[in-house]
Amino acid sequence: MKTRLTIVETIENIDFSAQRMDFSRCENMAFVHCQFPDFGNIDFTDCVFEDCNLSNVKFNNCKLDNVEFYDCKMVGASFAQTKDFAFEAHFYGCNLDYSAFDRKKLNKSSFEQCRFHEANFTQADFTKSKLSQCDFTSALFDKTNLTGVDMRSCSNFLIDPTQNFIKKAKFRAQDLAGLLYRFDIQIS
């Protein structure tokens, strides 16, 4: 297991779409090679998901407090309705294509080597979050707060500086086209 968290119980190879989840609270648990339908009203604290399929999962009214996701398939997952209090999630090598983080405060979260093709970050707050080697092909940034975020190792983003907050954010010179696309200018 890749985590730095103390794990008390590990659940492996369970398809929760065929078996009911009888949890309202999960602490110090690891889920490995599991498949999940939707989550609702579950509080996760210091938990790990590794190589799980969480595609199209809606984390409705869930608490994610220091939760780690490793190499998970999370295509179409929605974090928009998670509880804001204590939200802290860390993603490593996850596929988050078409995921929704709209209006989510992500300021304690980190994302490393993740894929976010056509993900929705409308009004999300990335202040103080960590982004490393993420691919944002066709991701939507609209009124997104990226203040102070280091995007230098990220790729394929289109961020309109007139519609987003990017003060003190860091970008590579070669990625300026992703910031200036709206102005229909040629950069060479």
pLDDT digits (tens, 9 = 90+) for 124-154: 999 989 999 999 999 999 999 999 999 999 9
pLDDT digits (tens, 9 = 90+) for 8-40: 899 999 998 888 777 789 999 999 999 998 788
Its pTM stands at: 0.92
Q: Give the pair of three-digit tokens for residue 95.
A: 């596929």
Q: What length is written for the chain? A: 188
140 close to 119: Cβ distance less than 8 angstroms:
yes
What DSSP string runs through the chain?
A: ---SS--SEEEES-BTTTS----SEEESEEEES-B---EES-EEES-EEES-B-TT-BEET-EEEEEEEES-B-TT-B-TTS--TT-EEEEES-B-TT-B-TT-B-TT-EEES-B-TT-B-TT-B-TT-EEES-B-TT-B-SS-B-TT-B-TT-BS----TTTSB-TT-B--GGGTHHHHGGGT----
Q: For residue 96, what pLDDT band results from cuts at 50, 70 and 90?
A: very high
Q: Give the pair of three-digit tokens for residue 75.
A: 């295509």
